[in-house]
Structure formats: C-alpha cells, structure tokens
Amino acid sequence: MNILITGGAGFIGSNLANYHVGIGDAVYVVDDLSSGSLTNITDMRNSGHLEFTQADITTWSDLDKVVEWSDRIYHMAAIVGVKKVLANPRGVMYTNITGTERLYQAIAKIKPSTQVLLASTSEVYGFNPQVSFRETDDIIFKQSKSLRWCYAVTKLADEYLAGAFEQSNGVKTVIARLFNTIGPNQTGKYGWVVPQFISQALHNEPITIYGDGSQTRSFCDVRDTVRALDLLASTVAASGEVVNVGNDYEISILQLANLIKKQTGSRSEIQFIPYLEAYGVEFEDIFHRRPVLSKLMDLTGFKPRGRLEDTLDYLINIAKGIS
C-alpha cells in the first residue's frame, strides 16, 4: 500500500510512518519541519521504504502527483502546541485550514476514492462541562477575544471541510479526535507537559506546573494511538465517522508531576506558575479532558494496551539513554 503522511516528521507522524514502514508499505512523508525533525525518521529513510520531502503543505508543488500515487492519506500537518499557537495565531489559522483545503481539493480532483484519515483534537470539545467526552457531545466555546482557542477552531473547521468534500465530491474521511498522545520524539519545547516534566525531573530542576495542577488529562501511549489510527483507516464502517482516539485513564497534572518525580527518583521541587506568567497572556484552561472510547472499540475492537506508568518508564529510560 502507498501511504502519504502529511506532517510525518512530527511526533505522531513519525511514529505512524515507522509503523507502516515496519509492515512493508511504501511511505511518503511531507513536512515543513517547523516542529518536526529529520532525526525522527532517519532510520526509516535508510530503509528504502520511505521518501521524504521538506515542504509547506499550503504551497507544495508535488501535491497532486503524490496524491495520485497514494492509496491512503493520514493528514497530520498542522501548527500545534499551545506556545506556538499563542505566538503565531495567524500562521495557525492559515496553515491548518488552507493546508487541509488544498489537500482535499487535490484528492477530490485526482483520486476521491483514496482512504483519508484526518487528525483532529479533543480541544474541539471546548468548554463542554462533561467530565468525559463522547463524539455526539456539544461543542462549546465561550465568547472571548482570547486567541488560545484558534487551534481548536481550525481543527473544527477542518472537520467541516472534510464533511463538505464528502457531500460534494464523495471523499470519505475518518476523523480522529486525539487525546493527549505521549511517546518518543515528543518535545517539551512547545508546551507538551510529559517531556517537560521528565527533563526537569532528571535534571533535578523545579517541575513547573501551570495553574494549580488540579486540571486532569488522559494520556495515551503513541504506540496505541498509531494502532488505533491504522485500525480506523482500515475499517470500512469508520469511513465518514468522527471517533475519539486515546486512553481513558485520567490523572491530574499534580499527580502526574509526583508520579514522574517518583519514577525518576528526582529531588525536584514542584513549583506552581500562574498561566499569565507561563504564557504571557491571560489563559483559561479546560479542567477535564477524558475520552469515551466506546465508538472506537465498537468499530475496531481497539483497547489501549499501554499503562501510564509503563509508558513513563519507557520515556524516562529513553531520556537517560538506556535502551
């Protein structure tokens, strides 16, 4: 099978590429490397099963040619990370919406039968007060001038674009709403909490929690995420559906910090930093973000395998240089 992964040198994309290279598919990765890295795909490029192009999805001249080649497309390309979103909201809105529209125009024109998986986000649920989210739950955004939500709005717009191209051109997409994926190649540079906490703990630096730490998240091992994405893309009944992808085990950020401190044997203190100090702007966070996974399980039989403690041990050993 010929696989195109946009944003494939990024964190999830590189793990997805590795999965498909591992089963012998031909994989084409395009990434502008704004947050991805060539080191994430070095071994795969040497395998002979992966081709890479550094390009911006909004202007890439070979898009039509590679879409024609592809049997399946995982659209992961987007500007992500809270710090990048706050620093460049115009870039987020342009890249995340224009890139998706341009890709779908090419698919509709050249090969509308292509299997397409669109990576969306749990952030689209916004301020819905539910303690856990189903795909049928309402999407709620507060009236606000804050640009913190522009990423979520762009991903919701991408979902609607996918629906519009299905209605008008027959391009069917499975939309995966991803919940807090963690794993190798993820960096704390743009605001991802687990690699940041692990680095701070291993260096016995203060573990910095934004806010009071009572906010909860559900973290999914990227190996489970990739397996779920592959199952969804391979399941005919999932085509045209919106599906949560993640792990439904929930933990507070303060509990996470203490768990990482314990598993690293760190002497780090835990420090609480107000959002305004952390981000330089007023910031309103979501208190809960836990997926209901029944739709994913019913469609594919998927169940998360990774325990958070085991994933953290794995990442801590990688950070220590232990194989």
Average of per-residue pLDDT across 268-297: 88
For the cut 80, the answer to whether the pLDDT of residue 280 exceeds it is no
Angle between helices 11-22 and 222-234 (to 10 degrees): 60
Quote the percentage of the chain above a pLDDT of 90.
80
123 and 151 Cβ atoms separated by less than 8 Å: yes
The Cβ-side half-sphere exposure at 119, using a 13 Å CA radius, reads 30
CA atoms within 13 A on the CB side of 157: 17
Contact (CB, 8 A) for 291 and 218: yes
**Comparing C-alpha atoms, which of 94, 72, 77 is closest to residue 36?**
77
Report which of 147, 199, 156, 153 is spatially closest to residue 315, judged by C-alpha positions: 199
How many domains are contained in the chain?
1
Domain for residue 51, yes or no?
Answer: yes
Residues in a beta bridge with 133: 291
Q: 110-142 burial by CB neighbour count: b if 16+ within 10 A, else e? A: bbeebbbbbbbbbbbbbebeeebbebeeeeeee
Highest mean pLDDT: which range of 3-7, 40-44, 139-143, 147-151: 3-7
β-bridge partners, 31:
54
DSSP letter assigned to residue 139: P
CB count, 10 Å around CB of 62? 12
Query: pLDDT confidence of 162, banded at 50, 70, 90?
Result: very high
57-93 residue pLDDT tens: 999 999 999 999 999 999 999 988 777 888 888 999 9
| pLDDT the model gives residue 35 | 85
Domain ranges, residue 46: 2-179+222-246+290-304
Do the domain assignments include residue 22? Answer: yes
The owner of tokens 């990739």 is 226
Known catalytic residue at 190: no
User: Per-residue confidence at 190, pLDDT binned at 50, 70, 90?
Assistant: low
Note whether 111 and 70 are within 8 A (CB).
yes
Q: Which two tokens stand for residue 165?
A: 């191209």
C-beta of residue 238 within 8 angstroms of C-beta of residue 299: yes
- Where residue 106 sits, what CATH number does that domain have? 3.40.50.720
Amino acid occupying residue 293: L
* Cα torsion 122, 128, 129, 130: sign: negative
Question: Does the residue 275 lie in any domain?
Answer: no
- Under a CB-based contact definition with an 8 Å cutoff, are residues 173 and 166 in contact? yes
8 A C-beta contact, residue 218 and residue 250: yes
User: Cβ of 255: how many Cβ atoms within 10 Å?
Assistant: 13
| 311, part of any domain | no
Domain assignment present for 163 = yes
- Candidates 145, 133, 139; CA nearest to 159 is 139
Of 19, 125, 151, 210, which residue is the catalytic one? Answer: 151
Contact (Cβ atoms closer than 8 angstroms) between residue 211 and residue 275:
yes
Pairing of strands 270-273, 72-75: unpaired
Is 319 part of a structural domain of the chain?
no
pTM of the model: 0.95
Pair of tokens at residue 130: 């539910």
Cβ pair 232, 174 in contact under 8 A? yes
* pLDDT tens, position by position, 220-246: 999 999 999 999 999 999 999 999 999
pLDDT band at residue 270, thresholds of 50, 70 and 90?
A: very high
**Cα separation of 150 and 43, whole Å?**
35
Question: Is 269 inside a domain boundary?
Answer: no
